Amino acid sequence: QEDIFKKVISHAKEYGYVVQSSEIYDGLSAVYDYLQNGAELKKNIREYWWQAMVQLHENIVGIDAAIFMHPTTWKASGHVDAFNDPLIDNKDSKKRYRADVLVEEHVAKIEAKIEKEVSKAAKRFGDAFDEAQFRATNARVMEYQEKADTIIKRLARSLEKEDLEDVKNLILELDIVCPVSGSKNWTDVKQFNLMFGTKLGATAESAMDLYLRPETAQGIFVNFLNVQKSGRMKIPFGIAQIGKAFRNEIVARQFIFRMREFEQMEMQFFIRPGTQKEWYETWKQTRMKWHLSLGMGAENYRFHDHEKLAHYADAAADIEFRFPFGFKELEGIHSRTDFDLGSHEKYSGKKLQYFDPELEESYVPYVIETSIGLDRMFLAILSHSLVDEELENGSTRTVLKIPAVLAPTKAAVLPLVKKDGLPEIAQEIMDELRLDFNVSYDDKDAVGRRYRRQDAAGTPFCITVDHQTLEDRTVTLRHRDTMEQRRLPIEELHGAIDREVGM
Ligand code: ATP
C-alpha cells in the first residue's frame, strides 16, 4: 500500500501533475504546486462540481468571496475559540504529535501486536493442540486487549472534554501497554489554533490582526442576505463557492491529502427550520451520486456517520474514499442548524432572517452544508487511476485511467513520420479540435512509445496520421483504456471524442 502511494507521488511529479512548493529551496512542507497537467485536471474537477451544483440546480447560485474577512467573523464562527488541535511533544525524539493521531498510532500498534500473538499461537497449536495452553494464550490476549480498550475509551472521552492533563496521563498509561516512540518522555498537551494569522495596515499601532480563512463557508454566511435579496431567492436555496482555505496542520505527511493551503468546494443550503432531517438525507444521497457518476467503483466509497459532532452541527457524515492508505474522509455533509447565521446576527447586530411568504413569518434559516476538498478529490482520482497493466504479449504498461471527462488532455495528435505532409495534416486536425478540447501534439520517437507516454499522462485518445490519411483522409483513433484502434474520417473525430469527454 505504501509503495502504491509512493508511486502515485513520483508519477505526479514525472508527468507534470503535482510537486512540492519551492522545491529548489528544499520545499515547503504540506504546500504543493500544480503543474501543467495538474492545473488542467484541477480545473476540470472544479468545473464538473460547479456544473453539477450550480448550473444544474435552478435554486443554487455561486459566489466568490474574499480570503480575508473581518476578524470578528472568526469569533462568531467559533474558530478563534474552538478550532484547535491538542498537541504533545516527545522530548527525546523531538517529534510533535497531534494527541488524537498519536492515539491512532497506538491503536494500530496494539492491533498489530495482538494479531502477531494470535498467529504465533495458531502456528504453535497447528503442530500439537494443547487446550490448556490455548486457553492461557487466549486469556492473555483478551486481557491485553481489554486493558488497551479501556484506556483508549477514556482517552477519547478526555479528548472530547478537552481535559488536557487527563489526556497526557492516559497517553503515559498507554505507553506502558504499548510504547509508540520507545520513549515515555512527553511534554504537557497544549491546544494549538490552526488558523494562520497576518496583519492588515502599515504601522504597528494601526495594524489589524487578520486570519487567512480556514474554510470558505463563512464567506457564504456573511453574504446570505445579499444573495437572497439581489437574487430574489426563495427558501430552500443554496449558495456555492470554490476557493482557497488555509490551516496550520500539524501532522502533514500525506502528500496533498492534508495541506496547509488547499481548495474547498462548498455549498450551503438554506432551509426551513424543522426540515433539516430530510434535506440532510437528500444531500447525502445527491453527493454520493455525484461521486459515483465518475465511474471509479461504488466499492471505493462509503458513508461514515459521526457520533461526535462539532459545536455547530446536529448531524454529520463523511463520504469516505478508499485511498492507498485506507478509507479516509473525502467530503463532509453537515447539518449546521441556525448556528452560523444566528451567531453572525449576535456578533454583527444585523438581522439575518428570511421572510417566508408561505408561512408569513420570519426566521433564521437552517443550513445543510456539503464540503469537499478539491485537492483531496484530485488525489482520489489520481491514486485510483494509476495502474500497471500486464499485456497479452507479456510486457507491462503504466496507464493513468483518469475519467475521460476530467482528463487534462483529451487527445494527442501523432503524425507517423515527420515528413510527406503528415505533420501538416496533423496540425490541421489540432487546429480544428483545439476550439473545443485540450489537445497536444507529439512527433518524437516511434509511435508505440508515444502511445505509452500518452497512456501514462492520462490522455484518453490518440489520433494517428499516416500515409493512408493522404489518400482517403481517414486517421486511426486509439482508446487509452482498451487500446482499441479504429479508422475513421477526420470529419468524424470531433463527434467521436465529444461523446466520451462531454460533461
Ligand atoms: P480532517 O478530519 O481530514 O482534518 P475536517 O473534518 O477538518 O478534515 P472539514 O473541515 O469538514 O474537514 O473540511 C471539509 C473538506 O475539506 C474535507 O472533507 C477535506 O476534503 C477538505 N480538507 C480539510 N482539511 C484539508 C487539508 N488540510 N488539506 C486538504 N483538504 C482538506
Residue 382's pLDDT band (boundaries 50, 70, 90)? Answer: very high
**Cα–Cα separations (whole angstroms), residue 456 to 16, 17, 406:** 11, 12, 15
Instruction: Judge whether 269 and 254 are in contact, CB under 8 Å.
Output: no
Q: What separation in Å is there between the alpha carbon of 259 and the centre of ligand 1? A: 9
**Cα–Cα separations (whole angstroms), residue 160 to 76, 152, 164, 292, 306:** 21, 12, 10, 34, 13
Residue 100's pLDDT band (boundaries 50, 70, 90)? Answer: confident
* Reported pTM: 0.88
**Cα–Cα separations (whole angstroms), residue 191 to 67, 72, 159, 310, 391:** 25, 21, 11, 16, 54
> How many Å apart are CA 501 and CA 503, to the nearest integer?
6
Give residue 450's pLDDT: 97
Span 145-153, average pLDDT: 89
* 329 has a pLDDT exceeding 80: yes
Q: What separation in Å is there between the alpha carbon of 366 and the centre of ligand 1? A: 22
Give residue 204's pLDDT: 75
Which residue's CA is the nearest one to ligand 1's atom 19?
373
β-pairing, 190-193 vs 315-323, is unpaired
Instruction: Report the candidate in 267, 252, 290 with the shortest Cα–Cα distance to residue 216.
Output: 267
* 205 has a pLDDT exceeding 80: no
Instruction: Report the candidate in 45, 66, 63 with the shortest Cα–Cα distance to residue 54.
Output: 63
Which residue's CA is the nearest one to ligand 1's atom 23?
373
Ligand 1 atom closest to the Cα of residue 247 is: 27
Mean per-residue pLDDT of the chain: 93
Contacts of 178 (CB under 8 A, 6+ apart): 106, 109, 110, 113, 148
Task: For 212-271, give the DSSP string.
Answer: B-S-SHHHHHTTHHHHHHHTT--SSEEEEEEEEEE---S---SGGGS-SEEEEEEEEEEE
**Cα–Cα separations (whole angstroms), residue 213 to 68, 115, 222, 304:** 6, 44, 13, 26
Q: What separation in Å is there between the alpha carbon of 248 and the centre of ligand 1? A: 12
* 361 has a pLDDT exceeding 70: yes
* Domains contained in the chain, CATH given: 38-67+216-383 (3.30.930.10), 85-193 (no CATH), 409-501 (3.40.50.800)
Q: What is this model's ipTM?
A: 0.97
**Cα–Cα separations (whole angstroms), residue 93 to 170, 177, 181, 182:** 20, 19, 8, 9
Binding region for ATP: 247-249, 257-262, 329-330, 373-376
33-71 per-position pLDDT tens digit: 999 999 999 999 999 999 999 999 999 999 999 999 999
DSSP 364: P
If you average pLDDT over each of 129-138, 158-167, 488-497, which comes out highest?
A: 488-497
Instruction: Judge whether 446 and 465 are in contact, CB under 8 Å.
Output: no
Backbone angles phi, psi at 475, to 5 degrees: -135, 170
210-267 per-position pLDDT tens digit: 999 999 999 999 999 999 999 999 999 999 999 999 999 886 678 999 999 999 999 9
Backbone angles phi, psi at 276, to 5 degrees: -65, -30
The answer to whether the CB of 330 is under 6 A from ligand 1 is yes
Which residue's CA is the nearest one to ligand 1's atom 24?
258
Q: Which residue is associated with the grid cell 499461537?
A: 121
Q: What separation in Å is there between the alpha carbon of 371 and the centre of ligand 1? A: 8
Give residue 115's pLDDT: 84
> How many Å apart are CA 1 and CA 321, to the nearest integer?
15
Sheet holding 366-373, edge to edge: 60-63, 237-246, 261-271, 366-373, 326-337, 315-323, 301-305
Q: What separation in Å is there between the alpha carbon of 146 and the centre of ligand 1? A: 32
Give residue 390's pLDDT: 93
Sheet holding 439-441, edge to edge: 439-441, 411-415, 461-465, 474-479, 485-489
> How many Å apart are CA 442 and CA 398, to the nearest integer?
18
Give residue 104's pLDDT: 81
- What is residue 29's three-state secondary structure? coil
The answer to whether the CB of 106 is under 6 A from ligand 1 is no
Sequence-distant contacts of 391-396: CB under 8 A, at least 24 apart: none
Grid coordinates of 293: 457518476
> How many Å apart are CA 204 and CA 212, to the nearest integer?
19
- What is residue 370's three-state secondary structure? strand
Instruction: Judge whether 465 and 474 are in contact, CB under 8 Å.
Output: no
Instruction: Report the candidate in 117, 111, 112, 151 with the shortest Cα–Cα distance to residue 134.
Output: 117
Measured between its terminal Cα atoms, the distance across the chain in Å is 32
Residue 182's pLDDT band (boundaries 50, 70, 90)? Answer: low
411-462 per-position pLDDT tens digit: 999 999 999 999 999 999 999 999 999 999 999 999 999 999 999 999 999 9
Ligand 1 atom closest to the Cα of residue 258 is: 28
Half-sphere exposure of 285 (CA within 13 A, CB side): 5
Please confirm whether the linkage preceding 236 is cis (ω < 30° from 0). Answer: yes
281-291 per-position pLDDT tens digit: 999 999 999 99
Binding region: 98, 215, 247-249, 257-266, 329-330, 369-376
DSSP 51: I
